[in-house]
Structure 1
Amino acid sequence: MKNRFNLFPKIEPYEKGYLKVSDLHTIYYEEVGNPKGKPILFLHGGPGAGLDPMNRCYFDPDFYRIILFDQRGCGKSEPHAELKENTTWDLVEDIEKLREHCNIDKWVVFGGSWGATLSLIYAICHPENVLGLILRGIWLSRKSEVYWLYQEGASRFYPEVWEEYLKPIPKEKRGDIVKAYYEIFNNGSEEEQIKAARSWSIWEGSISKLIPSEDLINSFGDPFNAISIAKIECHYFVNNMFAKSDNYILENIDQILHIPTVIVNGRYDLVCPIYTAWELHKALPKSKFIVVKDAGHSATEVGIISELVQATEEYKKLY
């Protein structure tokens, strides 16, 4: 039986701060591990989820200089849950500003779910700055993927949870649920927005693990977390992820064929079904494709943790 890797021990940042990236937005960032180590960037999911202290622990702190940040509107970044000047391309520019701020030449980029999407788009835009990619739970930002998760598809596996997700939306508006939620987030009262945000976020949290976790669901349902997750995700989905085409990543995959890539996906991932990861692997013939047979979507599941930590260990050879 294959040995499983565990997370590294909990660790605190040796440096943290705020970087002003526009007149409106300031992003929170932190550095963990070895200040003279090899740089690796962590990109969180969502869009809108923000950082968790556990995110620091996928990497050997003696070897890596680990850089993490809250994307626009997320976590400790300011202003919270702000939708203005918040697009995929703004985030790509923020990554470059952070790289320059930290005086980093090249780095490995590590991201899951939306973080995997952003990792891919960043690599396509700046391939010269990426040594390698470690990707988990693949999302390629296509309309069909949004439809699966928020209109019809995943709904068939958790009908009782889906019914709760539908409650804020009048029956006559359920032909386009994402658009209906967007109307609430833009025009509803604060109470209506928070209620809708919790319904939206709890749906995602409820289906993220193979075996649902009450702790994870409660975290997604926390009003502070829920409002940024729901509003920013919905903002991106209504605007087709601000992509230049519906299949932007695969259409521009030639830009990153040379970059070593590890793809990790849970067999029973309902948020980002495994066929999307397979499509990416087929488009990147040299990529390593890893199926975790006893996992769903969450980066906190034992099998996914093991594969991600193993990947960060193997990527030491890239430096």
Structure 2
Amino acid sequence: METQERFEDGMLDVGDGHTIYWRTQGNAQAPAIVILHGGPGGAMNPQWADLLDAQKWRIVLFDQRGCGRSTPFGELRNNGLADLVGDIEALREHLGIAQWAVFGGSWGTTLGLAYGAAHPSRCLGFLLRGIYLARSEDTDWFLWGVRRVYPDVHARFLDAIEQAAGRRPASAREVLEFSGAPLSRFDATSTALARAWRDYESTLSRVNHEKQEDESDARTEEESSRAAIAMALLERHYMADELPPPALLPAVPRFAHLPCQIVHGRFDMVCPADQAQALADAWPGATFQIVDAAGHWTFDPGVATVLREAGKRLRIEMDGAKPAA
């Protein structure tokens, strides 16, 4: 069969005043896979598509509400988990795709599981990296519990909140409470706090903290600040106002007949590996790989290599997957 590689992009009006940016690439005749970025607010990273064989997949990426090229930027109204699940389905229909696989990382795994629960018949399989179940204890770890491993990094994070808000948080709840107003102002104080939030998460994400080139190195100062604001603003919004979602693990049996590849760094300090283990326990047919000497970052040592192989296995498993009973 002759393959047809193409690149397309556009804007899709999803209602509620929101428009999302999308792009497709790869083999237009192959099974589709939608990539769900992290954050919330992280925006798409085209480098994720490089982890997949473009000859074997029609790859779909998009920026979730309020971030990246989607508009309006930083909008929190009508921006919740159910809205994003609806956007995925609207994009599928817009592109004329009957079914697709789901590739998500971090918050993208939360969103992917929620989408699978809502639309299991539209899913072909799952590739999930850095599992975030979005339970209260999972969010509390990121905002507070991790200080037991990174006391210095956590202290600098609290310093930034205190400088912006005039009060120093004494709990995860106060991190969210005190940071809300400063992040919403879109001024110099907001930018400084957003950058501190971004740096905090970036540090926790990697095992090797030496300078490594990534997609952020090519950004201008303005682009870097804008990306940091979207990440911090939307993460804080979801953690404070939208989470925890309906329990995700009890919904797994709705789509557990589908193939799934779970990849998680053993030393993930953003989303500890017990979350991935809990998902694997709920999904007996899933393949679960813990990557040693790796953290939360998609391109941390070993993670990218394992993801490439997991993507190949998923593609093979999809061909032999049995339909739901």
Q: Structure 2 length normalisation: TM-score?
A: 0.88
What number of residue pairs does the alignment pair up? 303
Q: State the shift of 1:13 in Å.
A: 6.4
25-34 or 160-169, larger mean C-alpha shift: 160-169
SS of the residue 2:103 aligns to: strand
For 2:254, the equivalent position in structure 1 comes to: 255
For 2:61, the equivalent position in structure 1 comes to: 68
For 1:183, the equivalent position in structure 2 comes to: 181
In the alignment, the residues of structure 1 paired with residue 305 and residue 128 of structure 2 have an alpha-carbon distance, to the nearest angstrom, of 13
For 2:208, the equivalent position in structure 1 comes to: 211
Q: State the shift of 1:52 in Å.
A: 1.9
SS of the residue 2:129 aligns to: strand
Aligned partners of 1:109 and 1:130 also within 8 Å:
yes
In the alignment, the residues of structure 1 paired with residue 315 and residue 214 of structure 2 have an alpha-carbon distance, to the nearest angstrom, of 34
Alpha-carbon distance change, 290 to 230 in structure 1, aligned in 2, over 3 angstroms: same
Alpha-carbon distance change, 288 to 242 in structure 1, aligned in 2, over 3 angstroms: same
Q: What RMSD, in angstroms, separates the aligned Cα atoms of the two structures?
A: 2.0
Q: State the shift of 1:183 in Å.
A: 2.9
The share of aligned pairs that are identical, in percent, is: 37
Paired amino acid for 1:219: S
1:50 aligned onto 2:43:
yes
For 2:323, the equivalent position in structure 1 comes to: none
Paired amino acid for 2:119: H
60-69 or 254-263, larger mean C-alpha shift: 254-263
Q: State the shift of 1:149 in Å.
A: 0.6
Residue 192 of structure 1, aligned match among 185, 189, 192: 189
For 2:312, the equivalent position in structure 1 comes to: 313
Residue 28 of structure 1, aligned match among 21, 28, 32: 21
1:129 aligned onto 2:122:
yes
Q: Which runs of 5+ in 1 are unaligned?
A: 1-11
1:138 aligned onto 2:131:
yes
SS of the residue 1:302 aligns to: coil
In the alignment, the residues of structure 1 paired with residue 93 and residue 103 of structure 2 have an alpha-carbon distance, to the nearest angstrom, of 18
SS of the residue 1:37 aligns to: coil
Paired amino acid for 1:229: M
Paired amino acid for 1:164: R
Q: State the shift of 1:215 in Å.
A: 4.9
Residue 81 of structure 1, aligned match among 48, 51, 74: 74
Paired amino acid for 2:197: W
Residue 9 of structure 2, aligned match among 13, 16, 36: 16
Aligned partners of 2:65 and 2:75 also within 8 Å:
yes
Q: State the shift of 1:216 in Å.
A: 6.9
Paired amino acid for 1:185: L
Alpha-carbon distance change, 217 to 199 in structure 1, aligned in 2, over 3 angstroms: farther
Residue 237 of structure 1, aligned match among 225, 236, 239: 239
In the alignment, the residues of structure 1 paired with residue 250 and residue 55 of structure 2 have an alpha-carbon distance, to the nearest angstrom, of 38
SS of the residue 1:21 aligns to: strand
1:94 aligned onto 2:87:
yes
SS of the residue 2:243 aligns to: helix
Q: State the shift of 1:160 in Å.
A: 2.2
In the alignment, the residues of structure 1 paired with residue 117 and residue 209 of structure 2 have an alpha-carbon distance, to the nearest angstrom, of 34
For 2:322, the equivalent position in structure 1 comes to: none
In the alignment, the residues of structure 2 paired with residue 312 and residue 262 of structure 1 have an alpha-carbon distance, to the nearest angstrom, of 8
In the alignment, the residues of structure 1 paired with residue 96 and residue 168 of structure 2 have an alpha-carbon distance, to the nearest angstrom, of 53
268-277 or 304-313, larger mean C-alpha shift: 304-313
In the alignment, the residues of structure 1 paired with residue 119 and residue 16 of structure 2 have an alpha-carbon distance, to the nearest angstrom, of 24
Paired amino acid for 1:204: E
Residue 170 of structure 2, aligned match among 161, 170, 174: 174
Aligned partners of 2:126 and 2:314 also within 8 Å:
no
For 1:163, the equivalent position in structure 2 comes to: 155
